Amino acid sequence: SQQGEEDPQALSIQEGENATMNCSYKTSINNLQWYRQNSGRGLVHLILIRSNEREKHSGRLRVTLDTSKKSSSLLITASRAADTASYFCATAGAFGRGTSLIVHP
């Protein structure tokens, strides 16, 4: 299975701190995507990193990819209460259980 697995399952931080979430997957990939989901809603695409890229930035988001370790990380800098959500990685349409992030004001 291509399924990604996020780590940690839950993360609780204070506003202004950085949040780091990790993702591991099992087989070779063409690209890896990160998504965000607010409670009970659909997932929203955040960022895509291709297999030949090692790092990508989008606003306060920074994604890294290590294909030798089959892992990726999502860093959210200077977190805000509005960042509270679940975050998922996906490879070839397969998603993990997600990381539940709570940012306290």
Interface of this chain with other proteins, residues 36 to 55, rule: CB under 8 A:
40-45, 48
In terms of CB distance, is 44 or 82 closer to other proteins?
44
Segment near other proteins (CB under 8 A); pick from 19-27, 33-41, 52-60, 70-78: 33-41
Q: By CB under 8 A, tell whether 88 contacts other proteins.
A: yes
Three-state secondary structure string covering the chain: CCCCEEECCEEEEECCCCEEEEEECCCCCCEEEEEEECCCCCEEEEEEEECCCCEEEECCEEEEEECCCCEEEEEECCCCHHHCEEEEEEECCEECCCEEEEEEC
Nearest distance from C-beta of residue 50 to other proteins, angstroms: 9
Q: By CB under 8 A, tell whether 93 contacts other proteins.
A: yes
